[in-house]
Amino acid sequence: MHELSIALGIVKIAEDESAKANANSVKAIELEIGSMSGIEMDSLDFAWPVAVKDTVLENAKRDIDYIEAKARCLECETEYDIEHIFDACPKCKSYFKDIYKGRELRVKALEIE
Amino acid sequence: MLRTINFETMCSTCGCGHDENGPTILKPGEFVGASVPQFGLDHQHDHTHTHGHTHDHSHGAEKTILQIEQEILGQNDLLAQRNRGYFEAKKITALNLVSSPGSGKTTILETTLDDLKDKIDFSVIEGDQQTMNDADRIDALNIPVVQVNTGKGCHLDSNMVHGAFSKLDLKENSMLMIENVGNLVCPAMFDLGENFRVVIISTTEGDDKPIKYPDMFEHSQVCLINKVDLLPYVNFDVERAKDYARRINPNLIFFEISATTGQGMELWYNWLMENKV
């Protein structure tokens, strides 16, 4: 359940940034989460209400930009979609790869008022 | 309505914000209540925020979008890099030992410390949710040790490790062994500033552990396969386990060991001596 830590990390970023901007409230928060970021979306949903209670995010709309992972084979340079870290290159079957997309775990934007 | 988030409890509380759920960091013989040394950015600014704002802002609704682009684990990663810089300056080799509960982490550590303590100056950080048991076992070997009890937390983070090694007076050219909380999932995401991450599996577990919990194997450099003395009695295929692990991390180095019989420990020790900073 590290998703609670992650949710609290998001709250902390939102509190700091909205305080810096002298915002009264946060209307919406936009997150980028990759499929290989190590976050279980169901667990994040479960932790979210507890984490945001009594914070600037309590009533904020949460938009998640979920990014599917992509890898590039280090042997034959084929680019392919991966579902698991251990997926092999569909062309040459090598496991050596660079996962260049799908690790995102970022607060992209806040809509404040 | 700003709530103060106490950063050092952030990664381990149930979200209620009470300090009693935060980590405690103790040396053997020490008692709860001793304060935890922290980094500068411990956000304990209890800003009272008495903005009794009467809410007479014009209802033209000035919406602003802040493009902040911040990494959620940025705080942990930043502190991990600070730890790393400290280790580098003092020529300390730090290892982060991770595994499921019961794989034999503490026994491996005890045997390693006992066999190499004349060659290497060791210090140990023990991470568990509760109890001083592991620290007491290390203390019995006369090795400096600090126990971090994470409370509700399922992993160590870089701030807890900083708090722990600040109590340890680390020597130059020494080796710091960090035994993480027994958990193959959560610790994978938290860089502590270590030089090497060592993942341990044992033959009493399934040989498909690597593909069940791939994240931990992906971010480790070394894999210890423990309890090989039990291979005649268990259904564990060492080659299959290695094959699975290599699919995730083709560069992983393996050592097949038994911490209780000493089998295979010599090769692991050689690796430690060779890779010491």
Contact residues on chain A for B154, CB-CB shorter than 8 A: 1-2
Does A111 sit within 8 Å of B64, measured CB to CB? yes
Does B69 sit within 8 Å of A106, measured CB to CB? yes
* DSSP state letter for B34: B
Cα separation, B163 vs B180, in Å, equals 15
Radius of gyration of chain A measured on its C-alpha atoms: 17
- Give the least confident one: B46-60, B185-199, B209-223: B46-60
A83 → chain B, closest CA residue: B214
pLDDT of B9 over the 90 cut: no
pLDDT number for residue A12:
94
pLDDT number for residue B181:
95
Q: Are strands A97-101 and A70-73 parallel, antiparallel or unpaired?
A: antiparallel
What mean pLDDT is reported for chain A?
Answer: 94
Contact residues on chain A for B186, CB-CB shorter than 8 A: 1-2, 5
pLDDT number for residue B55:
47
Mean pLDDT on B225-241: 98
Say whether residue A112 is in contact with chain B using an 8 A CB cutoff: yes
Say whether residue A50 is in contact with chain B using an 8 A CB cutoff: yes
Note whether B197 and B145 are within 8 A (CB): no
pLDDT of B60 over the 90 cut: no
For B46, B58, B271, the CA distances from B52, given in Å and listed in that order, are 17, 17, 62
pLDDT number for residue A2:
87
B3 → chain A, closest CA residue: A55
- In sequence order, the β-bridge partners of residue A32 are A65, A106
Question: Under CATH, what is the fold of the domain B91-275?
Answer: Rossmann fold (3.40.50)
Question: Which stretches of chain A score pLDDT less than 50?
Answer: none
> Can you give the residue ranges of every domain in chain A?
2-68+102-112
- Output the CA torsion sign for B77, B81, A95, B217: negative
Residues of B (226-265) whose Cβ lies below 8 Å from A: 244, 246-248, 250
Work out the burial of residue B14: count CB atoms within 10 Å of its CB; fewer than 13 is exposed, 13-18 middle, 19 or more buried. middle
Total Cβ atoms within 10 A of residue A40: 14
Total Cβ atoms within 10 A of residue B15: 21
Does A88 sit within 8 Å of B11, measured CB to CB? no
pLDDT number for residue A25:
86
* DSSP state letter for A89: P
- Please state which of the four CATH numbers 3.30.830.10, 3.30.2320.50, 3.40.50.460, 3.60.15.10 is assigned to the domain occupying A2-68+102-112: 3.30.2320.50
Buried b (16+ CB within 10 A) or exposed e, B232-252: eeeebeeeebbebbbbbbeeb
pLDDT number for residue B33:
56
Strands (E), chain B: 24-26, 64-71, 93-99, 122-128, 145-149, 175-179, 196-202, 222-226, 253-256
